[in-house]
A and B are shown apart, each in its own frame.
Chain A
C-alpha cells in the first residue's frame, strides 16, 4: 500500500522537541569561534537628512571593535523591483537621508552581545527633519517627495489606464465600498539573524542565514558585495518561521558580510524583537475601492477594484508583485462578465512592504468577498445563494478569467455545500433570528468566504531535486525548496520512499546549503510540494529506472523481468524472489559510474489554483463591541494530499493568521511616521485564548499539471479565513444598520460602528 495520503508524524520533531532546533543563534560552528556581535543603529525619525554621524564615543565604549557607517562599507544599493525607477534604490545603510523609523544608519561591532546595545546608544546622529509622508493621500499629493530625483511618490502603476465609465451600465444595483486592508507585521517567532565567516585569504565566505531561500540570498548578496560566483556559500540552518518576510537577504546581511571582511573576524547578528517589528518588511497595506454591480436576481455583471499599494520607504517586489497578484485574482471564484482592475504603488515614510502569507491574494479575496456580501445585503438575498449563482461551473475548467488567468480545476459549489451542511447553516440562521428577536446583548454572526488562489505563480522557475542512493542502501534527497516549519523532511521522504520502497528512516532530506544544492528557488508562494515535491518524485522515478537497469545486469535477466519488491526494498527476477539484490548492492555497482542518483528540475506549464469555502461564526457583544470567534468550518481543496497531518497543520496556521488580521492585528503609525505597535506588547499578535478549534473538512480535486496532482496549501487558510471572519462580524450587527467594519474589527471599532448606525 502506498504511504502517500496516510497520516505520518514528522521526522523533524524528536530533535526539535528534546534539545531544540539549531537556529542561527544556536550555531556553535568552529568557524564562528571568537565571533564578534553586530548591533545596528536605527533611525528614530521617519524622514530626515543626516547632517552628521559622530561615532567617537561609541568607538571608545567597552568591548567595541569597530563602528561602520554606510560610507565605510562598499556595498551596492539594492535596486528596486524591475519596472520601478532606479532613483528609488536602497542603500544598505542610510548615508544622506533616512526614510523610515528603523532604517539602519550604522553598525556597531562588539566582543559581547550586551556591549553592542550600550555602544549603539552612543552613536550620535544629527537628523535634520523633513516632513513625513505617511498616508496614501499625502503620498499621491506629492508635496513632499521621498526621492526628489524620481519626481513622484508613485513607484508603479498597472491595470486599466482609464476607467470604463460604462462598466456598470447594465446593472440594476451597484454598490461601492472603500476598504482598508491594513498593514501587518509578519512576526515569525525567530527574528532575523545571520552569522558570517570569511576564509583566511578572504577568498571564500560562509553566511548562515535565517532565510526561505539560500540560493536567492546568495545571488543577491554576491551582487551587492561585488563577489565572484562561487565565493559565497549560504547555509540556512533551522529557520523559525518566515511567512514571506525571509524570502530575500535584507540589507543588514550585506552590511554584516562587508564588516566581517573588513575586520577579518567572524560576526554574528540577531536583531531584537523591537527591531524586527519595524525593520523586517511588513505585509498587506492596500487601500482598495471596490464596486460591484448586477441584477436583483443575484447575478453579478461587473466588478471593479482600484488598489493603492503602500510600498513603504523602499519599493521591493511589493510595489508590483502584490497588486499584480491582487488584480490577477480579482474576480475570485465567480464568472463575472466584466472585471476591471487598476493599481498604483506609492512610497511612504514607513517600513518597506513585501510578501506576507498570501501576498496580494488575501487582499483580492478580502475585496471580492466583502463585495459579494455587500451586494447580497443590498438585494436582500442570502450570501450563500448569491455566491452559488455566480460560481464558475465545474465543467468550465480550464477556465480563463477576464484578468487573463487560467484556473486548472475547481468544484466551488460542492465546497460551499459541504461547509454549509457541516456548519448546520439553517440552525445558525435560526439561532441568529432568535437572538435578534429577544434583543440578546450577545448577537450571533456568520460569515462566508469562497476563495480561489494561485500557487506556484512563478511556475516556470521550477524547483530542483536530487535523489542519491548510498552504498549502505540509505537515501539522501537534496531539494532547492527550503523548509522553515512546513515539514519537507517528512513529505519529501514519503515521496522518495513511495517510489523506492526504502523506509523513511533510511531517507535524509537536505536543503538550504548552496554548497550542496547550487540551484534552487526556495519556499514561498505555496510552491514547495507541487514543484519541489514533484522534482523529488521525478528524480526517484529516474533512480528506479537506473536501478532496474543495474539489477538486470547483476541478475543477468531482461529489464522487463526485473521486479522491485517495494515492501522488502529489494530487486529480483520475476518469479524468483529468493535471489534478490539490495539497493546498497546496486549503489555499489554504480559507484564507478557516478553513483546511483538522479536529478530533476521540475517546472509546471501553468500555476495551480487551490480553492475552498470558509465559514466563521462570531459572537458580538453589542454593548461593548467585543467580538469572539466561536466556530470555524473550512474546506480547503489543494488537490491530492500527500500527508493529511501536514496539510491540516498548514490550514490551522493559515486560518489563525487570517482571523488575526480580521480581528486584532494592525501595524499602526502616527501622523509623523512613528510606529505605535513596534513590539509584541503593543502589537496584537493572536493567542490561543482568542481562537476556537477549527473544523476542517476534507476535499481533494487533483490538478493535471504535475505528476502528484497536488496544489499549494501554505497560504490558502489565510486567504480564505480573513474575509470569512470579517463578514461574520458585519453579519452579527447588520440588523443594527451597520454595513461595513474595516479590519481589524476591534471592540472599539465595532462599538463605534454600532453607535454611528444608531445615530443615523
Chain B
C-alpha cells in the first residue's frame, strides 16, 4: 500500500508492506535513525515521536495508521534552531548517559509539558512512567524537565 506522511515538515510518500510499523518506516524507509527501539511490548518508550503534536510510541502503530498525519521525530524537534529548549535542558542537567532512551524521553517530555505546562516533580515522574532509562536513575531527567518547563520546553 501507499502512505503519505509529513515527517519533520517534509511530505514523504512510499509504497510499503501493510504490516510495517511506523518506527520502521521512520528508521528503515526514511533513514531517520534517531528514534530507537528498546522493547517489543510498548513498555520502554525509546521510540516515542509526536503524531499531530502528541506523544505516541511508534513501535505500536502501523505506518498505515499515520497516513495523512504529521510526525515529528527527534531530528525535527528543534526546527531551524540548534536545539529545542528541552534538548538544551537535558544537556545542561546531564539528563542522558548512553543516549539510547534519550530521543524518546525528550519527545515524551515535550509532550508532557504540552499537556501540563508547569508540572510538579511528582507529575513529571508519573508523566514519564512510560519511558524507561537504565543509566540515569531518572534524577537528572526530572531536573531537566522541570528546568525546561521554565524555558519554553512545551514549544
Inter-chain contact B83/A14, CB cutoff 8 Å: yes
Known: A9-B92, A18-B83, A645-B94. A688 touches B134 (CB 8 A): no
> In B33-86, which residues have CB < 8 Å from any A CB?
33-44, 46, 74-75, 77-78, 82-83
Q: Does A399 contact B (CB under 8 A)?
A: no
| A190 in complex: contacting residue of B36, B125, B143, CB < 8 Å | B36
Whether B91 pairs with A653 at a CB distance below 8 angstroms is no
A13 to B96, Cβ gap below 8 A?
yes
Task: Decide if B43 touches A685 in the complex (CB within 8 Å).
Answer: yes
The distance from the CB of B132 to the nearest CB of chain A, in whole angstroms, is 5
Contact A688–B125 (Cβ < 8 Å): yes
Q: Mark A24-36, 1 if CB is under 8 A from B, else 0.
A: 0110100000000
Closest to A16 in B: B99
Cα A293 to Cα B131 in complex, Å, equals: 46
A5-18 contact mask (Cβ, 8 Å, vs B): 1 or 0 = 00001101110111
CA distance A238 to B42 in the complex (A): 23
Nearest-CB distance from B41 to chain A (Å)? 4
Q: Which one of A241, A648, A679 has the greatest number of beta carbons of chain B within 10 Å?
A: A241
Say which residue of A17, A28, A238 sits within 8 Å of B31 (CB atoms).
Answer: A28
Determine the distance from Cα of A645 to Cα of B97 in the docked complex, in whole angstroms: 11
A114/B41 in contact, CB under 8 A: no
Shortest distance from the beta carbon of A239 to any chain B beta carbon, whole Å: 7
How many whole Å from B16's CB to the nearest CB in chain A?
11
Q: Which of B13-32 contact A (CB under 8 A)?
A: 17, 19-20, 24, 27-28, 31
**Contact mask B114-143 → A, CB, 8 Å, 1/0?**
000000010011101111111111111111
A694 interface residue (CB < 8 Å to B): yes
Distance in Å: Cβ of B1 to nearest Cβ of chain A: 15
Residues of A close to B82: CB separation below 8 A: 18
> How far is B140's CA from A646's CA once the two chains are assembled, in angstroms?
11
Confirm or deny: A83 has a beta carbon within 8 angstroms of a beta carbon on chain B: no
How many angstroms between the C-alpha atoms of A694 and B27 in the bound complex? 36
In the complex, A161 Cα to B24 Cα: how many Å? 56
- Interface positions of A from 195 to 243, Cβ below 8 Å from B: 238-241, 243
Residues of A within 8 A of B94 (CB): 9-10, 645-646, 648-649
> Hey, which chain A residues are within 8 Å of B46, CB to CB?
189
Known: A10-B94, A114-B17, A654-B137. A679 touches B40 (CB 8 A): yes
Q: How far is the CB of B104 from chain A (nearest CB, A)?
A: 9
Given contacts A10-B91, A189-B132, whether A23 and B138 have CB atoms under 8 Å apart is: no
Partner of B97, one of A18, A26, A653, A691: A653
**A187 and B125 contact, CB distance less than 8 A:** no
Those of A80-124 within 8 Å (CB) of chain B? 113-114
Produce 1/0 per residue, A672-714, CB < 8 A to B. 0000000111000101110101100000000000000000000
Range class of the B interface residue count = 35 or more
Select from chain B the residue with minimum beta-carbon distance to A273: B39
Question: Which of these, B33, B40, B87, B135, contacts A485 with CB under 8 Å?
Answer: B135
Does residue A402 face the partner (Cβ distance < 8 Å to B)?
A: no
A12-B99 in contact (CB<8A): yes
In the complex, what residue of chain B is closest to A272 when comparing beta carbons? B40
- Across the two chains, which residue of chain A brings its CB closest to B143? A693
Fill in one digit per residue for A645-677: 1 if any B CB lies within 8 Å of its CB, else 0.
110110011111100000000000000000000
**Residues on the A chain within 8 Å of B91, using CB:** 9-10, 13-14, 17
Q: Is B101 an interface residue, CB under 8 A from the partner?
A: yes
Q: Which residues of B contact A645 (CB under 8 A)?
A: 94
CA distance A691 to B134 in the complex (A): 13
Q: Are B140 and A273 in contact (CB under 8 A)?
A: no
Among B33, B36, B100, B121, chain A packs the most CB atoms within 10 A around the CB of B100
Are B41 and A681 within 8 A (Cβ)? yes
**B103 in contact (CB, < 8 A):** yes
Cross-chain contact A693 with B142 (CB below 8 angstroms): yes
B121 neighbours in A (Cβ, 8 Å): 693
CA distance A691 to B33 in the complex (A): 30
Q: Which residue of B lies closest to A691 (CB)?
A: B138
Q: Name which residue of chain A comes closest to B19, CB basis.
A: A114
Could you give 8 example pairs across A and B, Cβ below 8 Å? A19-B34, A20-B35, A20-B103, A28-B31, A188-B98, A649-B140, A653-B136, A687-B129
Chain A interface (Cβ within 8 Å of chain B)? 9-10, 12-14, 16-23, 25-26, 28, 113-114, 187-191, 238-241, 243, 272-274, 484-487, 645-646, 648-649, 652-657, 679-681, 685, 687-689, 691, 693-694, 717
If A485-B97, A648-B94, A691-B139 are given as contacts, then 19 extra A-B residue pairs at C-beta distance below 8 Å, sorted by A number, are: A16-B96, A17-B87, A17-B103, A20-B34, A21-B100, A28-B31, A114-B20, A240-B98, A272-B40, A652-B137, A653-B97, A653-B134, A679-B43, A680-B39, A680-B44, A688-B125, A688-B141, A694-B137, A694-B139
